Amino acid sequence: MPAAAPARARTDVAAVADTFLTLMRSFTRARAKLLAAAAHDVEWSAHVVLKHLAASGPMRSSELAERIESDPSTVSRQVAALVKDGLIERRADPQDGRACLLVPTTKGEAVLSEHNAIRLQHFTGMLDGWSDADLRTFADLLQRFTDDFDNANHDWLSEQFAAPRGSAERN
Protein backbone atom coordinates (compact mmCIF):
# COMPACT_ATOMS: atom_id res chain seq x y z
CA MET A 1 0.00 0.00 0.00
CA PRO A 2 1.45 3.42 -0.91
CA ALA A 3 2.69 5.56 1.98
CA ALA A 4 0.23 8.30 0.95
CA ALA A 5 -2.78 6.08 1.67
CA PRO A 6 -5.38 7.73 3.87
CA ALA A 7 -4.97 7.13 7.61
CA ARG A 8 -8.32 5.33 7.74
CA ALA A 9 -7.22 2.85 5.09
CA ARG A 10 -3.94 2.21 6.94
CA THR A 11 -5.90 1.69 10.16
CA ASP A 12 -8.28 -0.75 8.43
CA VAL A 13 -5.39 -2.64 6.86
CA ALA A 14 -3.64 -2.81 10.23
CA ALA A 15 -6.86 -4.13 11.81
CA VAL A 16 -7.10 -6.86 9.15
CA ALA A 17 -3.43 -7.78 9.62
CA ASP A 18 -3.73 -7.91 13.42
CA THR A 19 -6.95 -9.93 13.31
CA PHE A 20 -5.41 -12.30 10.80
CA LEU A 21 -2.40 -12.94 13.05
CA THR A 22 -4.76 -13.63 15.95
CA LEU A 23 -6.72 -16.01 13.71
CA MET A 24 -3.54 -17.83 12.69
CA ARG A 25 -2.58 -18.41 16.32
CA SER A 26 -6.10 -19.55 17.15
CA PHE A 27 -6.13 -21.82 14.11
CA THR A 28 -2.89 -23.49 15.15
CA ARG A 29 -4.37 -24.32 18.55
CA ALA A 30 -7.71 -25.45 17.07
CA ARG A 31 -6.04 -27.60 14.41
CA ALA A 32 -4.24 -29.61 17.05
CA LYS A 33 -7.44 -30.07 19.05
CA LEU A 34 -9.56 -31.03 16.03
CA LEU A 35 -7.13 -33.67 14.88
CA ALA A 36 -6.76 -34.99 18.42
CA ALA A 37 -10.55 -35.36 18.58
CA ALA A 38 -10.50 -37.69 15.57
CA ALA A 39 -10.30 -41.36 16.39
CA HIS A 40 -7.45 -41.88 13.91
CA ASP A 41 -3.96 -40.57 14.43
CA VAL A 42 -3.23 -38.89 11.10
CA GLU A 43 -0.75 -36.06 11.42
CA TRP A 44 -1.77 -32.74 9.88
CA SER A 45 0.57 -32.81 6.89
CA ALA A 46 -0.42 -36.39 6.06
CA HIS A 47 -4.06 -35.35 6.31
CA VAL A 48 -3.39 -32.69 3.65
CA VAL A 49 -1.93 -35.39 1.36
CA LEU A 50 -4.88 -37.69 1.94
CA LYS A 51 -7.46 -34.94 1.45
CA HIS A 52 -5.84 -33.76 -1.77
CA LEU A 53 -5.78 -37.27 -3.21
CA ALA A 54 -9.43 -37.80 -2.32
CA ALA A 55 -10.43 -34.50 -3.93
CA SER A 56 -8.23 -34.64 -7.04
CA GLY A 57 -8.16 -38.34 -7.80
CA PRO A 58 -5.28 -40.74 -8.38
CA MET A 59 -1.91 -39.19 -9.17
CA ARG A 60 1.80 -39.81 -9.01
CA SER A 61 3.74 -38.76 -5.96
CA SER A 62 5.67 -36.15 -7.95
CA GLU A 63 2.47 -34.51 -9.18
CA LEU A 64 1.05 -34.58 -5.65
CA ALA A 65 4.16 -32.85 -4.28
CA GLU A 66 3.86 -30.16 -6.93
CA ARG A 67 0.15 -29.59 -6.32
CA ILE A 68 0.46 -29.26 -2.55
CA GLU A 69 3.67 -27.25 -2.95
CA SER A 70 5.77 -29.59 -0.86
CA ASP A 71 9.18 -31.17 -1.23
CA PRO A 72 9.01 -34.55 -3.07
CA SER A 73 11.05 -36.28 -0.36
CA THR A 74 8.66 -35.02 2.33
CA VAL A 75 5.65 -36.23 0.34
CA SER A 76 7.40 -39.57 -0.20
CA ARG A 77 7.76 -40.05 3.56
CA GLN A 78 4.16 -39.03 4.16
CA VAL A 79 2.96 -41.42 1.45
CA ALA A 80 4.99 -44.27 2.91
CA ALA A 81 3.38 -43.71 6.33
CA LEU A 82 -0.11 -43.47 4.83
CA VAL A 83 0.44 -46.68 2.85
CA LYS A 84 1.74 -48.42 5.98
CA ASP A 85 -1.36 -47.28 7.89
CA GLY A 86 -3.63 -48.54 5.09
CA LEU A 87 -4.98 -45.08 4.26
CA ILE A 88 -3.71 -44.92 0.68
CA GLU A 89 -2.49 -47.51 -1.76
CA ARG A 90 -0.23 -47.57 -4.77
CA ARG A 91 -1.74 -48.75 -8.05
CA ALA A 92 -0.05 -49.32 -11.36
CA ASP A 93 -0.41 -46.36 -13.71
CA PRO A 94 -2.44 -47.67 -16.68
CA GLN A 95 -0.53 -45.31 -19.01
CA ASP A 96 2.91 -46.26 -17.70
CA GLY A 97 3.15 -49.58 -15.87
CA ARG A 98 6.54 -48.59 -14.39
CA ALA A 99 4.93 -45.78 -12.40
CA CYS A 100 2.32 -45.92 -9.68
CA LEU A 101 -0.66 -43.78 -8.80
CA LEU A 102 -1.64 -42.97 -5.23
CA VAL A 103 -5.25 -43.64 -4.29
CA PRO A 104 -7.09 -43.33 -0.95
CA THR A 105 -8.33 -46.64 0.44
CA THR A 106 -11.77 -47.19 1.92
CA LYS A 107 -10.15 -46.75 5.34
CA GLY A 108 -8.54 -43.48 4.19
CA GLU A 109 -11.86 -42.17 2.91
CA ALA A 110 -13.47 -43.09 6.25
CA VAL A 111 -10.78 -41.13 8.13
CA LEU A 112 -11.38 -38.10 5.90
CA SER A 113 -15.12 -38.42 6.36
CA GLU A 114 -14.71 -38.50 10.12
CA HIS A 115 -12.38 -35.48 10.11
CA ASN A 116 -14.78 -33.57 7.84
CA ALA A 117 -17.74 -34.37 10.10
CA ILE A 118 -15.85 -33.13 13.17
CA ARG A 119 -14.76 -29.94 11.38
CA LEU A 120 -18.22 -29.21 9.95
CA GLN A 121 -19.90 -29.85 13.30
CA HIS A 122 -17.52 -27.37 14.92
CA PHE A 123 -18.01 -24.68 12.27
CA THR A 124 -21.77 -25.21 12.17
CA GLY A 125 -21.99 -24.54 15.89
CA MET A 126 -19.64 -21.58 15.69
CA LEU A 127 -21.56 -19.94 12.81
CA ASP A 128 -25.03 -20.83 14.07
CA GLY A 129 -26.00 -17.22 14.80
CA TRP A 130 -24.97 -15.93 11.38
CA SER A 131 -27.58 -15.09 8.75
CA ASP A 132 -27.42 -16.92 5.42
CA ALA A 133 -26.50 -13.63 3.71
CA ASP A 134 -23.67 -12.89 6.18
CA LEU A 135 -22.35 -16.43 5.86
CA ARG A 136 -22.37 -16.27 2.04
CA THR A 137 -20.72 -12.82 2.03
CA PHE A 138 -18.07 -13.96 4.49
CA ALA A 139 -17.40 -17.14 2.49
CA ASP A 140 -16.92 -15.07 -0.67
CA LEU A 141 -14.71 -12.49 1.03
CA LEU A 142 -12.68 -15.15 2.83
CA GLN A 143 -12.03 -16.93 -0.47
CA ARG A 144 -10.99 -13.63 -2.06
CA PHE A 145 -8.73 -12.85 0.92
CA THR A 146 -7.17 -16.34 0.80
CA ASP A 147 -6.48 -16.05 -2.93
CA ASP A 148 -4.96 -12.58 -2.51
CA PHE A 149 -2.95 -13.75 0.51
CA ASP A 150 -1.56 -16.74 -1.41
CA ASN A 151 -0.69 -14.61 -4.43
CA ALA A 152 0.90 -11.83 -2.38
CA ASN A 153 2.95 -14.30 -0.35
CA HIS A 154 4.12 -16.10 -3.46
CA ASP A 155 5.23 -12.81 -5.04
CA TRP A 156 6.74 -11.44 -1.82
CA LEU A 157 8.63 -14.64 -1.00
CA SER A 158 9.93 -14.84 -4.56
CA GLU A 159 11.26 -11.29 -4.24
CA GLN A 160 12.75 -11.95 -0.80
CA PHE A 161 14.62 -15.06 -1.86
CA ALA A 162 15.69 -13.59 -5.20
CA ALA A 163 17.59 -10.78 -3.45
CA PRO A 164 21.09 -11.66 -2.18
CA ARG A 165 21.37 -12.20 1.58
CA GLY A 166 21.95 -8.94 3.43
CA SER A 167 20.78 -6.93 0.45
CA ALA A 168 19.35 -3.50 1.18
CA GLU A 169 16.35 -4.48 -0.98
CA ARG A 170 15.23 -7.09 1.57
CA ASN A 171 12.73 -5.85 4.14
Per-residue tens of pLDDT for the chain, all 171 residues: 455 567 768 888 999 999 999 999 998 887 777 667 655 556 666 788 999 999 999 999 999 999 998 899 989 999 998 999 999 999 999 988 888 999 999 999 998 898 889 889 989 999 999 999 999 999 999 999 999 998 888 777 667 666 665 554 444
Q: Helix and strand tally (H, E) in the chain?
A: 6, 2
Q: Alpha-carbon distance 70 to 39, whole Å?
A: 26
> By the 8 A CB rule, do 103 and 63 touch?
no
DSSP 47-101: HHHHHHHHHH-SB-HHHHHHHTT--HHHHHHHHHHHHHTTSEEEEEETTEEEEEE
pTM to 2 decimal places: 0.68
Helix H, strand E, coil C: the string for 100-131 is: EEEEECHHHHHHHHHHHHHHHHHHHHHCCCCC
